[in-house]
Amino acid sequence: MMESDFRPRLKGNTKAAYDNFTKKERRILVIGDIHAPFTLEGYLEFCQDVYARYNLNQVVFIGDILDNHYSSYHETDPSGLSGKDELECAIEHVALWKEAFPVADVIIGNHDRLIMRKAFSSDVPKEWIKSYNEVLGTNWNWTERIVYDNVQFVHGEGGTARTKARNDMMSTVSGHIHTQAYTEWLVGRNFKVFAMQVGCGVDASSYAAAYAKNFKRQAIGCGVVLGGHTAINCLMEL
């Protein structure tokens, strides 16, 4: 027998763990709001490590790929990057994520759609606006909501994952709220669903995050959803 043909015999809990780790099911990495180009240094590498550690095979960005600080409806920093410079930096930043995760679903967040909102309020027809993939050079699936294994993935402007899961009676994964990372199960006589807030990957020291300087500490992390039955929060060591 060739050495390369050797297969160790696994028994008991070791075999059960191996079978669970390698069974064919959706194993999803959920990446928190990255707000490019204002993403925390090391967050990409952290997400790559989680993807490898849990033997994942699918990726969902939970929204706010872009920050679009220059175009915010709130107060902006007059000393910050111009619109052109911020976009160019964001494109360079997103290219690193595209290289790491070339195939992904992206939930469209409120910061992502800022430009579309301003175009709409200026009476600019949507036909004049380029797609996210065209602008950023990606080939991702951009969508408002997606469902896998009876779990819905949403950005979260309408409330927390807990509220959404309770209202819809459906397992829910959400971003948007940078200071929360948790998984909570809601269990009744005839149902069992979970609510997951995944945290974020935002650099809290950036001027784009200055509005939150007096908020609670940001929860830097991502999520793992296995086959719709298991939800795990992973927090980055800071």
Is a pLDDT exceeding 70 seen at residue 1? Answer: no
163-204 tens-digit pLDDT: 999 999 999 999 999 999 999 999 999 999 999 999 999 999
Is a pLDDT exceeding 90 seen at residue 24? Answer: no
Percent of the chain with pLDDT over 90: 68
Compute the residue count for the chain.
238
For range 202-231, the mean pLDDT? 89
pLDDT at residue number 90: 95
Spatial CB neighbours of 196, under 8 Å, sequence gap ≥ 6: 30, 161, 171, 172, 173, 174, 182, 183, 184, 223, 225, 231, 233
Which residue type is seen at 172? T
CA dist 85 and 198 (Å) reads: 29
For range 213-227, the mean pLDDT? 90
40-88 tens-digit pLDDT: 999 999 999 999 999 999 999 999 999 988 888 777 888 788 888 989 9
Q: Tell me the pTM.
A: 0.89
Report residue 220 as tokens. 């830097």
pLDDT at residue number 21: 65
